[in-house]
Structure 1
Amino acid sequence: MRKANAPFMTPFADRELAVRMAEMARTLAGERSLDAVLAEVTSAAVELIPGVDTAGILLIKKRGEFESLATTSELPHQLDILQMTFDEGPCVQAALADTVVRTEDFRTETRWPKYSPAVVEIGVLSGISFKLYTGDRTAGALNLFGFATRDWTADDESTGTVLAAHAAAAIIATQQEQQLKAALLSRDRIGQAKGVIMERFGVDDVRAFEMLRQLSQEANTKLIDVAERVISTRPNGATS
C-alpha cells in the first residue's frame, strides 16, 4: 500500500493507480451493481491517496433529499448529515458548485462556521471533495477525509479527479439504464391502454392514441398516468 508521494507523477504514470483503475474499469464493464463499483472507488481513494482515512459519496437530489453511498466507515454518513442539517460544508459545495474543495485544517476553516467545529469535535481535521457530474436532477461529490491535517498536493487532486470521473460514469450508466427501463415500461402501459380503448370503442390504434393524447392534454396529466387510469378501468382479469 502506497502512502508516500513521488516527486512528480501523472495519475496514469503511477503504476499502482493505473492498475487499480484497470481493475475498476473491468468492474464497470461487468455485471457488478452500482454500489459495488462505488465501493471500489472509495476504497481505492483511501488506499491510493496519502492522508485519506475515510471516504464516501454524497448524492443530493431534489427537495433536499440525499444519499450517502459507498462509505468506507460510518463517519462520512455522519458528516453528510451534518452538512445537510447546517446547509453548508465542502461536500455540499463540491456537489452543487465548485469542482474541487480542499480543507487543510478544519480548526482554522472559516467558510463553514457551523460545520467546521462539529467536524473537529468528531476528530476529522482535513478533507478534499470532488464534484461528480451525474446529471441534471442529481448532484454528487466524492468526499475524502483525514484525521490529521493535510496539505493536499497536485498528485492527490489528480488521483481524486480520476476516481471521481469513474464514479460519475457508473452513476450516469445506472441512471440511463433506469431511464430506459422506465421508457420501455411506459411504452408497454400505453400500448395496453390503447388496446383497452380499441376494444371498447371500436377504433384503430392511431385513433386510440389520439384519444389518450387528448385526455392527457385536457387533464394536464402525463400520458403514462392517463394510460394507467384507462388500464384500471378494465374488468378484473381482463387483458388487452
Structure 2
Amino acid sequence: MEWDRFAEQMASMARDLLAQETLEATLAHITVAAAELVQGCDAAGILVLHGTTVQTLAPTDRLVEDSDRLQQELRQGPSFDATHSASGERVVRIADLTSTRQRWPDYAPKAHALGVGSMMGFLLFTEDEDFGALNLYSHKPGAFTEASELAGWLLASHAAVAFSSARTHAQMEQAVATRHVIGEATGILMGTRHLTEEQAFDVLRRYSQENNIKLREVARQVCEHGRPP
C-alpha cells in the first residue's frame, strides 16, 4: 500500500465529497472512491436498515444489491451484524466467505454462489447516530489485507462525516421546500375561499389529520388543483 499516494487521494476525495450538491451524489462518490482506493475491492455499496427493511444506496455493481437482498431475506450476514452489533463492532472483515458458514449458515453459501469471495463491512457512524454500513466486496478469497482494512476504515470515517453533512443539508432543503409549498397552498385557499391565513392553514391541517395524508402532500395537491385532494 502506497500510503503517501493514498493520503493524497483521500485529501482530494474529502474535498470532492463536500462539493457534491446532493446526498445521492455524495454517496456515489463514496462508493466509487472505495472501489478505486481500497486494494482488493471489486465493488462497494452502502446498506441502510429501516427497521427490518434493507435499502441499498450507491451500489457500484449488481453484486452489492444481490448481497443486500440476500441479507434482508435471510435476516443474517455481516452488514446485519455491523448495524445491530451490541458489542460495538465497527468493522467486519471476512477473508474467505466459504469459511464463515457456521456464523452465517444460510447467507455465506448463497453469497459465495453470487461471486463473493471476501468482503469487509464498516459501520458508518458519527458521535450522534449510526447510519448503516459501507460494504466492500471482492470476487477473490483473501483479497483484503490489514492494509485494506485500515484504508477502508479511514475512508469510512471520512464518509460518515460527509454522509451526515449531506443528509442534514438535504433535510434542510426539504424543510424549506415544504414551508414554501404550504405557504403557497395557504395563499390559494385564502384567495379562493376568502379565509384568513390561520383559517386556511387549519383547513390543510385538518384534512391532513382526518385523511392520514402528509401535510406537504395536501398542500401540493392544493397548489396543483386549487383544492385539497
Moved more, 110-119 or 226-235: 226-235
User: Which of 192, 199, 205 lines up with 1:200 in the alignment?
Assistant: 192
Would you say the 8 A contact 1:95–1:130 is kept in 2? no
Match of residue 106 from structure 2: 114
| 1:112 positional shift | 0.4
TM-score for the superposition, normalised by structure 2 = 0.75
TM-score for the superposition, normalised by structure 1 = 0.72
Match of residue 149 from structure 1: 142
Secondary structure of residue in 1 paired with 2:121: strand
Distance (whole Å) between structure 2 residues aligned to residue 186 and residue 178 of structure 1: 12
Tell me: CA distance 1:58–1:37, structure 2 relative to 1, closer, same or farther (3 Å): closer
Match of residue 44 from structure 2: 56
Distance (whole Å) between structure 2 residues aligned to residue 159 and residue 124 of structure 1: 20
Would you say the 8 A contact 2:42–2:139 is kept in 1? yes
Secondary structure of residue in 1 paired with 2:38: helix
The one-letter code of the counterpart of 2:37 is A
Secondary structure of residue in 1 paired with 2:105: coil
Match of residue 17 from structure 1: 6
Larger radius of gyration: 1
| 1:70 positional shift | 4.1
Aligned length: 217
Unaligned runs of 5+ in 2: none
The alignment-based identity, stated in percent, is 28
Give the aligned CA root-mean-square deviation in angstroms. Answer: 3.3
Match of residue 132 from structure 2: 139
The one-letter code of the counterpart of 2:36 is S
| 1:194 positional shift | 1.3
Note the alpha carbon deviations across 1:147-175, whole angstroms, 9 max, x for none: 1336853x443322111122333333333
User: Which of 206, 215, 222 lines up with 2:214 in the alignment?
Assistant: 222
Tell me: CA distance 1:142–1:121, structure 2 relative to 1, closer, same or farther (3 Å): closer
| 1:218 positional shift | 4.8
Note the alpha carbon deviations across 1:190-217, whole angstroms, 9 max, x for none: 1122112221343432443344334444
Distance (whole Å) between structure 2 residues aligned to residue 122 and residue 194 of structure 1: 53
Secondary structure of residue in 1 paired with 2:168: helix
| 1:233 positional shift | 4.8
